Structure 1
Amino acid sequence: MQLKRTRFQVGALLLLLVLVLSACAPVVTPAPQGAAAPEPTAEATGEAADIGSEAHPIKVFFVPSVDAQVIVSGGEIMAQALNEATGLHFTVSVPTSYAATIEEMCASPTDSIGFIPGLGYVLANQLCGVDVAFKAIRFGWDVYWAQILVRRDGDIQTLADLNGKKWAYPDAGSTSGYLAILPMLAENNIQPGETLEAGGHTGAVRAVYLEQADFASTFYSPPLKPEGEPPWQPGDPPDIPDELVDECAVTEDGSRLMCDGWRVLDARASLRQEAPDVVQKIRILAISPPIPNDTLSFSPQFPAELRSQIEEALIAFSQTEAWNESIGNQDFYGWTGIAPASDEEYDVVRKMIEVSGMSLEDLGQ
């Protein structure tokens, strides 16, 4: 299957998402790219005094990327902390899909907050003016990367060698597993051969491990280096040093994939129980430009005074131990902190959508 056809598929998928949301959400005027969020309507301003009361709690939406029970229990810990800090009331929910999360935020323009990934944020911003406030920090990074994986014993040495090869990716809606790779392939005039939608990042790694595909694309997180060594920096080799590869093994409790003090944090680590020698078999060929992390975003007409209170409370909460039982829990979203974010930072995600075959203007239809 050629890249052109794959672009058409993801474009069709995104267009279908937009049409579904447009049919279900209330009629709103899309915010132009880079424009400020709409001013609250008179009706919304009149209701502002009630927003956050017990009768009118603020809605907090989480995308269902991990177990919903984990999200709800951790979200309730956050909601309680914010209530104690601000006196405001919150209700936590996990819509059934990423699309449903966007729909819910657009349907609640004055009183909702969403923990949504970059792709979801761009869609929500284009559809109804949802506005980003924070981005996640994970292990010191407020960005992440996509990676291209190949077998160590294979004949692929450069990006050019991917031409005509079979490509495994998680799914066509994955930013790090698919969309971030499209510009890399296009800029290098690479046309993959067959494609395999593996159903997840672990599945994409598995496909290369089992030689069901020639290369895979997944999320990349830099390795954690041993204490006392300077941390990984952009521009450093993305993989474990060659001389340490033979030392890579799963810890006794099964929780980590370690290579003589280096901890593997990219998608290969998710296959560690099934394939403890995954690093010995699979290497990183290349990583993408940085992508801003997942967002904490506010609905377009959220009252500014309440938003400021919540932002201050979130920053304070992120510095407490309770954070690690909530958003910081590795079984939840694994955010080790938060940093202020701007809409412009997500232009890189807009570029991915453009390369996929859909114009930004179409996203607001």
Structure 2
Amino acid sequence: MNKRYMFVLLTLIVTSAMILSACAPAAPATEAMTEAPTEVMTEEPTPEPTEAAPAIGSPEHPIKVLFVPSVDANVIVTGGEVMAEALNEATGLTFEVVVPTSYAATIEEMCASPDDTMAFIPAFGYVLANDLCGVDVSFKAVRRGWGVYWTMIVVARDSEINSIEDLDGLRFAFPDAGSTSGYLVPKVMLNEAGVVPGEELEAGGHPQAVRAVYTGEADFAAAFYSPWAAPEGADAWALGDDPEVPVDINNCALNEDASQLLCEGYRVLDARANIREEFPDVVSKVRILTLSPDIPNDTLSFGPEFPAELRAQIEQALSAFAETEAWGTSLGSEDFYGWSGIDVATDAEYDFIRKLVVESGTTLESLR
């Protein structure tokens, strides 16, 4: 076999092998099968039903009636409960009588509970509360026909103090730094006279401030002044008259049940009368040095978010209560706030006090 033949034969063998290899079926590719994860369905818990908040004025959510601690707290609570019961009978609403520890605390409580508080606060406190959170005035006090009242500065009757200028450097007792007649107004009066007190004593109330002068703890004090009541047939007090009773002060004494301090029939109604049982001779021991200009009377004010419908019910009920005999054992008592009645008030009536607040630089923070 020659070489040419062998070459052709090998070529045919290789070619055939290649053809057979190309025609062979391809091995199937192995696919990696990944099983989709099973989705686990979780059922959301059904929310627990929530109870509706108790209605304002209900036994579970009483309306808070706040009273500034200007007189004895026990007197306030007792008289306040009389009023609360009368309002409850008239409206069906529930009230809670509260006496905060200070004037500032009263304002703070109104702003902290704007939808369920009403408060009997003085002009100074009202202006601060209105500026702080929008507390709104409703009524003002009427005392024996007067829609205003006054600060009296009192000193020991046997002292040599004859003018406000003589008070410079002396010990000063005042009821509370949030009191209109007991602090704001007298401080402005002292500043205008160039008087800088020495030691200052925050007595805790108008009667306590007068007591501090009686006992010698202070040289002078500021407290509220309401005019004396004249006996039948005598002329009533008028602006410009002497603030002291127009009779011999040594003839002042308590009536039979100690409910009044009388001087030959003239009834003392200023802050001195509030310590009459402890010191029946207070008028002969403590005298009035001077009075302030007119001060707008104290207010009944409501929290800024107090429900209008409830407010209207309370205003109507309170107006009716003011015409009853029970009023005299509550707000009308001379040992309480001495309100002989109420009248509608407007915010603008307290602009004079706003001016004093600005002039004195007083803020709620400074009262704490």
Cα distance in 1 between the residues matched to 2:140 and 2:222: 23
Q: Does 1:312 align with 2:304?
A: no
Q: Does 1:219 align with 2:224?
A: yes
Q: Is the 8 A contact 2:77 2:99 kept in 1?
A: no
Range with greater deviation from structure 2 (314-323 or 252-261):
252-261
Could you tell me how far 1:131 is from its partner in structure 2?
0.2
Cα distance in 2 between the residues matched to 1:187 and 1:256: 36
Between the two structures, name the one with larger relative contact order (CA 8 Å, sep ≥ 6): 1
Superposed, 1:286-301 pairs within 5 Å as 286-301=290-305
Closer/same/farther in 2, CA of residues 284 and 303 from structure 1, 3 Å limit: same
What do the CA deviations read for 1:122-167 (whole angstroms, capped 9, x no partner)? 2221121010000122333332211111233332222233233333
Residue of structure 2 in register with 1:333 after alignment? 337
SS in 2 for 1:216: strand
Could you tell me how far 1:184 is from its partner in structure 2?
1.0
Q: Is the 8 A contact 1:60 1:90 kept in 2?
A: no
Residue of structure 1 in register with 2:187 after alignment? 182
Could you tell me how far 1:83 is from its partner in structure 2?
4.1
Could you tell me how far 1:326 is from its partner in structure 2?
3.5
Cα distance in 2 between the residues matched to 1:357 and 1:294: 21
Q: Is the 8 A contact 2:269 2:334 kept in 1?
A: no
Cα distance in 2 between the residues matched to 1:351 and 1:134: 21
Cα distance in 1 between the residues matched to 2:360 and 2:280: 35
Residue of structure 2 in register with 1:122 after alignment? 127
Q: Is the 8 A contact 1:182 1:355 kept in 2?
A: no
The aligned amino acid for 1:176 is: S
Please provide the CA RMSD for this pair.
3.2
Q: Is the 8 A contact 2:157 2:285 kept in 1?
A: yes
The aligned amino acid for 1:116 is: I
Cα distance in 2 between the residues matched to 1:323 and 1:261: 24
Q: Does 1:277 align with 2:288?
A: no
SS in 2 for 1:285: strand
Residue of structure 1 in register with 2:255 after alignment? 251
Q: Does 1:263 align with 2:263?
A: no
Q: Does 1:343 align with 2:347?
A: yes
Residue of structure 2 in register with 1:165 after alignment? 170
Cα distance in 2 between the residues matched to 1:51 and 1:199: 32
The aligned amino acid for 2:120 is: F
Residue of structure 2 in register with 1:238 after alignment? 243
Closer/same/farther in 2, CA of residues 312 and 348 from structure 1, 3 Å limit: same
Q: Is the 8 A contact 1:223 1:262 kept in 2?
A: yes
SS in 2 for 1:145: strand
Could you tell me how far 1:74 is from its partner in structure 2?
4.2
Q: Does 1:303 align with 2:297?
A: no
Closer/same/farther in 2, CA of residues 356 and 125 from structure 1, 3 Å limit: same
Q: Does 1:132 align with 2:140?
A: no
Closer/same/farther in 2, CA of residues 306 and 212 from structure 1, 3 Å limit: closer
Closer/same/farther in 2, CA of residues 333 and 154 from structure 1, 3 Å limit: closer
Question: Unmatched 5+ residue regions in structure 1?
Answer: 1-46
SS in 2 for 1:180: helix
The aligned amino acid for 1:202 is: P
Paired residues, number: 314
Could you tell me how far 1:69 is from its partner in structure 2?
6.0
Cα distance in 1 between the residues matched to 2:274 and 2:292: 20
What do the CA deviations read for 1:245-293 (whole angstroms, capped 9, x no partner)? 2322333443322211111122222343444333223321111112222
Give the percent of matched residue pairs that are identical in Structure 1 and Structure 2.
Answer: 61
State the TM-score, normalized to the length of structure 1.
0.73
Could you tell me how far 1:95 is from its partner in structure 2?
5.1
Q: Is the 8 A contact 1:250 1:257 kept in 2?
A: yes
Cα distance in 1 between the residues matched to 2:66 and 2:315: 16
Cα distance in 1 between the residues matched to 2:182 and 2:197: 15
The aligned amino acid for 1:337 is: G
Closer/same/farther in 2, CA of residues 209 and 101 from structure 1, 3 Å limit: closer
The aligned amino acid for 1:144 is: Y
SS in 1 for 2:182: helix
Closer/same/farther in 2, CA of residues 316 and 198 from structure 1, 3 Å limit: closer
The aligned amino acid for 1:313 is: A
What do the CA deviations read for 1:215-246 (whole angstroms, capped 9, x no partner)? 222221211111122321222211122x5223
Range with greater deviation from structure 2 (92-101 or 260-269):
92-101
Cα distance in 2 between the residues matched to 1:254 and 1:132: 35
Q: Does 1:141 align with 2:146?
A: yes
Cα distance in 1 between the residues matched to 2:99 and 2:209: 26
SS in 1 for 2:237: coil
Instruction: Pick the structure with greater CA Rg.
Output: 2
The aligned amino acid for 1:82 is: L
